Each structure stands twice: as C-alpha cells, then as structure tokens.
Structure 1
Amino acid sequence: MHTPTQLLQAYLAEIQDPAAVAALFAEDGVLELPALSSMGIDARAQGPAAIERFITGLLTNVPDFRFKNVQILMETADQVFAEYSIEAQVLSTGKLYRQTYAGRLVMQDGKIKLLRESLDTLAAYRAFTKDV
C-alpha cells in the first residue's frame, strides 16, 4: 500500500503521462482546483477517465508542464499537504506560466480520493490570457 506522500510524489512525477496519473485515483476520486472557478474555468474532474482527459487537455496547451521544488509540509496516515511549482510555456499565448501550487491529497484504500490544489489565480490569468 502507498502512503499519501508516495501517491502525491507519483502524481507529481507522472504528470506527463495522463493515463498513469489517472490510475492513481480511486474510481470516484476527484482532482479539483476550486480557485479557477472564479475565472469561469471548470477545473474539477471525477473518476480516472475524466482526470485523464483533464490532464491531456492541460498538456496539449502546456506540453512542458512538470512539477518541481516539492516541499512536503504535513502528512498523516491518510493525507498529505505540500507545495510544488511549475514553470512552462503556454502554447496558446506564448507566455511563461510560473506557479506555485498548494495541494492537499486524501488517500483511501491506497488510491487518491481527493487532490485539491490551490494556486495564484492572477498568475494563471496572466499566463493563459492573450491580452494581458
């Protein structure tokens, strides 16, 4: 069985492989970035198939999306909280996306039940919007 930290590290390391990422999630597992709803973006995927599509869509626009500078800040028997960052070019705008995420992962039966990520919405807006 995986620990929450091992699951998060696998998610972060495998982000370039949407099928591998999706396989880490429970059948009803959720990946969500609630801060993006303020920008009118539905950034919630439930179940491995939806999560795979979500990651695939992200990589289509940001093909060099890779996490770095991982800092595990808290771990319990079924949860982990960490910060990690990204720096990659957004194809649709030509801009550099620099972001630090804060992620809370909840594990159930060795799979990811919930991964909720927070981020700087202004940095995302500037990178993903052509006119700014």
Structure 2
Amino acid sequence: MKNATQLLSAYLESIRNPRAAAELFADDGVLELPYLKSLGIDGRAQGPEQIEGFIASLLAKVPDFEFRNTRFLIETPEQAFGEYEVEALVPSTGKIYRQMYAGRLVARDGKIALLRESLDTVAAANAFAPSDDGH
C-alpha cells in the first residue's frame, strides 16, 4: 500500500496520462485547485472519472504540461506536502506557462483522498490570456 509521499510522487509522474493519474484517487477522492475559481474555472473534481476528465482538459490546452523539480516539505504516512514546477507552452497564446504549485495530499487506504493544490493565478491568467497582437 502506497503512503502519501509515494502517492504524490506517482501522481506527479503520471500527470501526462490522465487515466493513470486518476486511478490513484479513491472512489470519493478529490482534486481541488480552489484558486482557479478566481479565473472562472471550476477547480474541483471528485472521483476518478471527473479527475481524469479534468486532467485531460488541462492537457488539451497545454500538451507539454509536466511537473518537475519536486521538493517535499512534509512527509508522513497519511499526508505529504510538496512544491513542484511546470514550464510549458500554451499553444493557443504562444506563451510559456511558468508555475510553482504547492500541493497537500491526504492518503487513505493507499489511495488519494484529497489533493489540494495552490498556484499563482496571475501567472496562469497571463499565460492563457491572448496578447494584444492576437496570440
């Protein structure tokens, strides 16, 4: 059975495969990015099916999305907290999406019960907003 740190690592490593990432979550597990609401995006998905769809929609917008430079700050069997980065092209705008995520994962019975991530919404808005020249 995987502990919280192993689950967070597995999630980060499998982000480019929505089904594999979603299968790490419990049937009632939640992926939550509450700060996305300020951008008009529902940042909550519950259950593997919704989570798979959420990740797939992200990859459709940012095909090269991939986490790197993971640093764990808290590691217990039931909880992990880490920071991880993304740097990828947003094809619709031609801009680079640079982001530092902070994630808190709660594990239950070898599955993800909750993964709550925070991010810089200004950086996200800038990367996804069209430029004045139309990109």
Residue identity opposite 2:43 in structure 1: A
Q: Which residue pairs with 2:124 in the alignment?
A: 124
Shift of 1:131: 3.8
The 5 A counterparts of 1:20-35 are 20-35=20-35
Q: Which residue pairs with 2:9 in the alignment?
A: 9
Instruction: Tell me, in whole angstroms, the C-alpha distance in 1 between the residues paired with 2:44 and 2:23.
Output: 17
Offset from partner CA, 1:18-40 (integer Å, 9 cap, x none)? 00001000000000100111121
Q: Relative to structure 2, which stretch is displaced further, 35-44 or 121-130?
A: 35-44
Residue identity opposite 1:63 in structure 2: P
**Consecutive aligned runs of 4 or more in structure 1 exceeding 6 Å deviation:** none
* Superposition CA RMSD, Å: 0.9
| 2:5/2:76 contact within 8 Å kept | no
Counting matched residue pairs gives: 132
Instruction: Tell me, in whole angstroms, the C-alpha distance in 2 between the residues paired with 1:94 and 1:43.
Output: 24
Instruction: Tell me, in whole angstroms, the C-alpha distance in 2 between the residues paired with 1:79 and 1:127.
Output: 31
**The residue matched to 1:99 in structure 2 has which SS?**
strand
Residue identity opposite 2:76 in structure 1: T
Instruction: Tell me, in whole angstroms, the C-alpha distance in 2 between the residues paired with 1:55 and 1:82.
Output: 19
Identity score, percent? 63
TM-score of the superposed pair, with normalisation by structure 1: 0.97
TM-score of the superposed pair, with normalisation by structure 2: 0.95
